[in-house]
Each structure stands twice: as C-alpha cells, then as structure tokens.
C-alpha cells in the first residue's frame, strides 16, 4: 500500500524518448529553482548593516532616558508605598514629614530588691500620673488641632474612591472638608480610656454616651495595635525573689518621628500649611483654619470632639 512507502523512496516507470528529454529539462529547471531558493536575498544582506545600528541605538537611548528619569525622581516617588516614605493610605501632603528614628521605650515594669512591683517613669512627663490640670495639658499637647481643613482635591484623593461624593465631609462651621489623622485620633482615644480610671475627677454626666465612646476607643486601640504589626522582640527577665519572669519592655523600636509629624499637624491646622476656610455669606475665618464665625449656633466643633 502507498501509505507504507518511505517518503524518500523513488518510484520508477518506463518513459518514452520524448518524455525523457522533457523530464531532463524539467529536472534541470527544478534544480536551478531549488538552488536559487536556498540562497538568502541579497537585498536583505545589504539592508541589515544599516538598520541594525539604528535599532540598537534606539533601545540604548530608551534605556538611558528611563534610567535618567528614574534617578531624577525623589525617593518618595520611587518607594511610595513603604513605612519610611508613606503608604498609599497615608495622607499624601503629610508624607514629606515622615522620617524614621530608633526610640527606646520606657515604662517597663520592674521589681525592687525586696520584690516590690513598680513602674519607673524616667521621661520628663509621666502620662500615667494622677489627674491634674498639668497632666491634661500634656495630653492635649499631643492631640490638639487634629482636625484640619482639606481642599476639594485633597478630599477627593483621600475619600472619593471609598465613599463617593465628598460633599458629605463638608463642614459649614469649618468652611471646608474636615479630616483627622489616625495616630492623633488613637492618642485621643487612649486619653479617654485613661480618664475612665478616674471617674471622680472626670465627671461624665451622659454615662451612656461616654460608655459607647469608651467602647469605640477600645476597639480603635485594638485595631491600631494589630495594624501596626510591630515585631520588635521583647525579652522576659527572671526575678529570683518572686521566682518567675516578667516582661522587660524597655527595648528599642524603629518609629516614625512623632515630633516631626506633630509639627506638621500644627502647621496644617493653623500655620503656613493651613487651607483657608471658605466661609459663607458675610462670615469670616476665625483662628486661621479652625472655623468660620456663623450667625447660627453651629456646634460642629463640639460634636467632632465628642465623635473624635
């Protein structure tokens, strides 16, 4: 059968004399055709020496241009999403104030030689001292001015993707879009939890509202700590007198510089970085970026204080 023939085998048949002559001519023509088809086009051989250098130089120019462009960018643009330069979720104008520093924590528990448990406070301010006007001012200095005015584009960049229309964040009494920053919000929450330890000093008339407020604060602090994910190792120190180990939390952490962020917030609240409020009618800005003077008795600032 034909299907079993080798593809290289040659089939013979008897030919007449005329057919033989024609076949010789056809074979010669076919041979010449196959020989010529195996030779590369001479035109391409002449073109490539001129085209190839242009292709190579074009790629080289593109690479050099990209290299120079990337090296001209500030580090924040090259590494936008990092702890040291700011995550995508960090407020973009605040990223320039972010820098890292190593901080050794204080306030770790200790035992005296006789086994008495105590907490030393070597820092200039003891934020866990008994309540006083001085202590309240110290906490207020950490968190004051934590609500600032954003312009419309900043509000859209920060909130539009998640919340849609940013007009819901417009405050008539502040004359702008209002935003806080979560570190200062969480510090405020921690202060409210601290006050809960001293109900006789921090009298709270609306107990239900304040209880809800404190429950919110506990959830806020819990999530904030879990979000930070600080994996700095904290050793435990053995105490022979009490025959057990206790945590020595006075270790060094890598932190964002709080002082720089606090200074940035102050400038953004009512300093050189403040967004001036857009006040309605004949009203005027009051206290820099903090509020507008309204005819109606809008208590928006007080309501924000209650709701953080």
**Residue 246 in 3-state DSSP?**
strand
Q: Are 147 and 176 a contacting pair, CB within 8 Å?
A: no
* CA distances to 34, 114, 152, 155 from 172, in Å: 88, 61, 14, 15
- pTM of the prediction? 0.68
| CA end-to-end distance (rounded Å), the chain | 93
Which pLDDT score, from 0 to 100, does residue 185 have? 98
Tens of pLDDT along the chain (308 residues)?
Answer: 443 334 343 333 333 444 444 444 444 444 444 444 455 555 555 655 555 555 556 655 665 555 555 566 555 454 567 999 999 999 999 999 999 999 999 999 988 877 788 899 888 899 999 999 999 999 999 999 999 999 999 999 999 999 999 999 999 888 999 999 999 999 999 999 999 999 999 998 888 999 999 999 999 999 999 999 999 999 999 888 888 898 999 999 999 999 999 999 999 999 999 998 888 664 555 444 456 765 544 445 444 544 56
- Distance (Å, whole) CA 209 – CA 34: 96
φ and ψ at 171, to 5 degrees?
Answer: -115, 115
């Amino acid at each position: 059968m034909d299907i079993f023939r080798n593809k290289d085998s040659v089939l013979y048949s008897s030919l007449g004399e005329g057919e033989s002559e024609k076949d010789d001519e056809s074979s010669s023509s076919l041979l010449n055709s196959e020989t010529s088809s195996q030779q590369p086009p001479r035109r391409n051989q002449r073109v490539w020496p001129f085209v190839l250098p242009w292709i190579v130089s074009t790629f080289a120019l593109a690479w050099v241009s990209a290299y120079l462009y990337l090296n001209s960018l500030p580090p924040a643009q090259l590494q936008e999403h990092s702890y040291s330069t700011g995550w995508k979720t960090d407020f973009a104008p605040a990223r320039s104030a972010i820098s890292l520093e190593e901080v050794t924590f204080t306030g770790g528990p200790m035992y005296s030689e006789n086994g008495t448990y105590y907490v030393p406070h070597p820092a200039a301010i003891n934020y866990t001292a008994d309540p006083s006007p001085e202590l309240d001012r110290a906490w207020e200095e950490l968190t004051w001015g934590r609500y600032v005015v954003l312009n419309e584009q900043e509000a859209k960049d920060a909130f539009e993707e998640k919340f849609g229309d940013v007009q819901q964040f417009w405050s008539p009494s502040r004359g702008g879009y209002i935003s806080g920053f979560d570190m200062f919000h969480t510090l405020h929450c921690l202060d409210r939890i601290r006050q809960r330890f001293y109900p006789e000093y921090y009298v709270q008339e609306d107990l239900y509202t304040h209880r809800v407020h404190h429950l919110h604060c506990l959830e806020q602090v819990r999530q904030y700590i879990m979000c930070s994910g600080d994996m700095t190792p904290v050793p435990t120190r053995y105490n022979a007198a009490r025959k057990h180990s206790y945590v020595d939390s006075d270790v060094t952490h890598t932190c964002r510089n709080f002082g720089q962020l606090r200074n940035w917030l102050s400038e953004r609240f009512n300093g050189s970085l403040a967004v001036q409020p857009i006040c309605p009618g004949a009203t005027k800005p009051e206290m820099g970026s903090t509020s507008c003077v309204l005819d109606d008795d809008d208590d928006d600032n007080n309501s924000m204080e209650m709701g953080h």
